[in-house]
Structure formats: structure tokens, C-alpha cells
Amino acid sequence: MTTTTKPTYTATELMACVAARTLEDKRTVLVGTGLPMIGAILAQRTHAPGLVIIFEAGGVNPRVPTLPISVGDSRTFYHASAASSMHNVMSACQAGYVDFGFLGGAMMDRYGNLNTTVIGPWEAPEVRLPGSGGANDVGSLAQRTIIIIRQDRRKFVERVNFITTPGYLDGPGARERAGLPEGSGPYRVITQLAVYDFDEASKRLRLRALHPGVSTDDVRAASSFDLLLAETLEVTAPPTEEERRLLQEIDPAGMVIGK
């Protein structure tokens, strides 16, 4: 790290703010548990008041009062446009009504393929993880998927040993060959160090922006695979005081943001 002064914000706060800024007003976003929820709620309370937040259990366009513990709890349809069903939401996703899918991940490869199922052999797991949940559905069916993950060499891996959720599989055209919806796929990856997109030609992960005080060497040291670099690298703006205040308001118990 090249920082000389300790920032006043945490990495989690920064990730939440970057997540929020990635979302666009008057679009739909299907969110997973934790930081994706916080990012979407923050976006709605800042630049994207018309952002439509959707939860897999059926909540459509709620005014989420405080951070839900579950993507299905009562906070996910508080003052909502609809308390529908999973069938309604997943069908909408498959039919093209969901612009953004927002996922957390355990392990990821250069094509944005995610593993949240198992570490070690599937038949005899070293660590059993939760499985897909709605992640495969979101990663398969949302038009643009945003992934939030804390990167290190064990999480940014050469090959995921289990593709729970498809990214670009093994490269250009692979999603369409598999039958996944045309033009869909991973869009951004947000980590505690940087923001990535995917190179148009190779569909490989490409560094797009560095967080304040982070160097490309830091980022490379925290990945097991080679990273492509965009021609010009942006630097992430730090969280504003207003954003930080809103994060505390969204997660007053400090479940994700911390106290």
C-alpha cells in the first residue's frame, strides 16, 4: 500500500459506495444478501431514486427501511410495489425485465465464473458452502451481473473447482453456445482494492479503476491469474460524509457495515 495517512472510511464502506455508484437510475436490480443489498439501497437514497430493487423471494420495489437479514424477510417488501413470488421474479429475470443482477462470491476466475458450492471435491467436501441459492439464476438470467468479492489469491483463482454460477465460462461466445440469454453476463467486479470490467474481445477480467492508495502491484499480488489492464485506469472517489451517514442509517445494527 502506498497510503501515508489512514483513511477515515473502511474497505466495506468503500465497496458499498462503489456498488451503489455502479447502478443506474430507472433500472431494475435483483440483489443478493449483504453488500449487494446495501449498495442498491444506497443508490436509491442518492443518485438513483428510481432504481427498482427486486428480491428473489418476491419483493418488488420496496422502500427498504433497514438492512434485511434475508432476501426473503419482511424488510424486502416494506412499502413495496408488489409482494409477489419467486416464480414472478425469476420469470421476469428470464424474460428480460432485470437489468442488473448483484451477487457476492466466494471464489472467482478470470471469466467471472463463481464458486459458492464447495471447496475440495464435491463428493467429499473440505468445506461445504451454501450452493447456488439464487446466484446461478441471477448470473444466468440478469442482463448485466455485478459481483462483489473480497479479492486475494485464494479467491481470485486460475480455475474455480466448481462453477456454481456461470460467468463467461471459457471465453467469447461460450454463454450463447450453452444456451444462456444473448448478450448477458458479468459486467463489473468490485473488490476492496479495485473495480474491474471484462475485455470485450477476450471476455477476461480487466482492471478498470483502483481504489485510493492502491497500486497495480497491490492488485496483481492479490490475484492468482494475470489481470488485463484498461488503457487508462481511473481512481475511485472515496466515500463522502453523506454516503457514510446513509450507510449507518441503512445498517444501524452494523450487520455488514460494522459499528
- Shortest distance, position 233 Cβ to another protein, whole Å: 31
DSSP character at residue 188:
E
Catalytic residue among 24, 56, 158, 234: 56
Taking the complex as a whole, the smallest distance from the CB of residue 243 to another protein amounts, in Å, to 21
Shorter beta-carbon distance to another protein: residue 36 or 236 = 36
| Gap between the Cα atoms of 10 and 6, Å rounded | 10
DSSP string over 206-220:
EEEEEPTT--HHHHH
Judged by beta carbon, residue 6 or residue 79, the one nearer another protein is 79
Provide the minimum distance between the beta carbon of 192 and another protein in the complex, in angstroms, as a whole number: 17
Comparing CB distances to another protein, the nearer of 233 and 255 is 255
Judged by the rule CB under 8 A, the positions of this chain that interact with another protein are 33-34, 55-59, 65-67, 69-74, 76-77, 83-87, 90, 93-94, 117, 122, 124-137, 140-141, 162-166, 169, 174-175, 177-181, 252-256
- C-beta of 19: minimal distance to another protein in Å? 16
Q: What's the distance, CA 220 to chain centroid?
A: 20
Write out the three cell numbers for 204: 477476461
What DSSP string runs through 226-255?
--EEEEEEEEPPPPPHHHHHHHHHH-TT-S
Strands 205-210 and 194-198, bridge-based pairing: antiparallel
List 107's β-bridge partners, or say none: 115
Q: Which is nearer to another protein, 73 or 242 (CB)?
A: 73
Concerning whether 56 is annotated as a catalytic residue, the answer is yes
Can you tell me whether residue 256 is helix, strand or coil? coil
The residues carrying an active-site annotation are 56
